[in-house]
């Protein structure tokens, strides 16, 4: 007897808890091929599904930010990326042991800084997986923690029931507009100024001696409404 969607979802839920992830969802990506960059022609046809994983950014670390990034935030940012990459690898191994294919996509691997784009958009996959929506700040916003999450993805042919995107948005909230030092954030999420954000990140990297393009200010002011853990979306 073949495992059911429920069996496969339960396996992922066990792995979510084991790897200390806060969110995990599945998205159908068969209609999203054009958003993926740098893969051989036809390569992605073997992967109809994306598993998206997330961890919560520490509110205490974010509260150390005043007018830009610092070394405490940078270290935390880096460690969360390590955690996500290790978790993605663990999940991928277990799926492959069951005879399916996987392709883990690193948490923070930028291929074009001017466009702030990678091989895939974890934010878009997370939106498709029903974990949250794209905010005015160009980040994923989830109900419980706002933009205070980091993401990674695993492409796979593991049979899963995909979720549906949330039908919501940021409403009247404009906190991220007020704090953005580059004025990159606009009322319309699609009007986000990637170039202005990139040049501000580059300036922060130079003047704050961080060696990484990070900021965190719009993340800090987008906290969501709670702090409980959330299991896999169905």
Q: Write the DSSP string, 2-55.
A: PPPHHHHHHHHHHHHHHTT-SEEEEEE-TT-GGG--S--TTGGGG--EEEEEEE
pLDDT at 230: 40
C-alpha distances in Å from residue 160, one per residue of 6, 36, 139: 8, 21, 25
Backbone angles phi, psi at 123, to 5 degrees: -65, -45
pLDDT at 116: 63
- Whether 114 is covered by a domain: the verdict is yes
Query: For residue 87, is pLDDT > 60?
Result: yes
pLDDT at 122: 93
Q: How large is the average pLDDT for residues 183-187?
A: 96
Q: Provide the domain count of the chain.
A: 1
- Whether 227 is covered by a domain: the verdict is no
CA 69/CA 80 separation, integer angstroms: 16
Q: From the CA atom positions of the chain, what is the Rg in Å?
A: 17
The sign of the CA dihedral 7, 10, 14, 20 is: positive
- Whether 162 is covered by a domain: the verdict is yes
Predicted confidence band at 166 (pLDDT cuts at 50, 70, 90)?
Answer: very high
- Whether 228 is covered by a domain: the verdict is no
20 burial via Cβ count (<10 Å: 0-12, 13-18, 19+): exposed
CA 35/CA 125 separation, integer angstroms: 10
Could you read off the pLDDT of 215-228 as tens digits, one per residue?
999 999 998 754 33
- Whether 234 is covered by a domain: the verdict is no
Q: Could you tell me the residue range of the domain that residue 32 belongs to?
A: 5-220
Predicted confidence band at 52 (pLDDT cuts at 50, 70, 90)?
Answer: very high
- Inter-axis angle of helices 5-18 and 71-97, nearest 10: 140
Beta carbons of 133 and 212 less than 8 angstroms apart: no
CA 129/CA 132 separation, integer angstroms: 8
- Whether 230 is covered by a domain: the verdict is no
Percent helix / strand / coil, the chain, rounded to 5: 35, 15, 50
- Whether 16 is covered by a domain: the verdict is yes
pLDDT at 32: 78
How much is the pTM? 0.90
In the chain, the N- to C-terminal Cα span, in Å, equals 22
Could you read off the pLDDT of 117-145 as tens digits, one per residue?
667 899 999 999 999 999 999 999 999 99
- Whether 108 is covered by a domain: the verdict is yes
Query: For residue 229, is pLDDT > 80?
Result: no
- The continuous run of DSSP H or E covering 72 comes out as helix 71-97
CA 134/CA 24 separation, integer angstroms: 17
pLDDT at 113: 63
């Amino acid at each position: 007897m073949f495992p059911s969607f429920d069996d496969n979802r339960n396996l992922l839920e066990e792995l979510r808890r084991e790897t200390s992830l806060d969110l995990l969802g599945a998205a159908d990506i068969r209609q999203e091929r054009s958003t993926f960059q740098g893969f051989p022609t036809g390569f992605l046809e073997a992967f109809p599904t994306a598993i998206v994983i997330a961890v919560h950014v520490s509110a205490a670390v974010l509260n150390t930010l005043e007018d830009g990034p610092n070394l405490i935030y940078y270290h935390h940012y880096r460690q969360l990326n390590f955690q996500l990459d290790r978790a993605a690898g663990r999940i991928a191994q277990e799926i492959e042991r069951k005879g399916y294919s996987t392709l883990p996509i690193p948490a923070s691997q930028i291929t074009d800084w001017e466009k702030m784009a990678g091989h895939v958009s974890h934010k878009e996959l997370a939106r498709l997986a029903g974990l949250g929506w794209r905010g005015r700040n160009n980040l994923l916003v989830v109900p419980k923690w706002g933009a205070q999450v980091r993401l990674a993805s695993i492409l796979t042919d593991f049979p899963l029931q995909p979720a549906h995107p949330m039908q919501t948005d940021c409403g009247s909230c404009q906190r991220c507009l007020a704090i953005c030092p580059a004025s990159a954030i606009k009322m319309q999420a699609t009007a986000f100024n990637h170039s202005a954000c990139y040049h501000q990140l580059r300036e922060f990297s130079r003047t704050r001696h961080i060696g990484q393009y990070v900021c965190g200010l719009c993340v800090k002011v987008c906290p969501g409404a709670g702090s409980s853990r959330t299991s896999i979306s169905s």
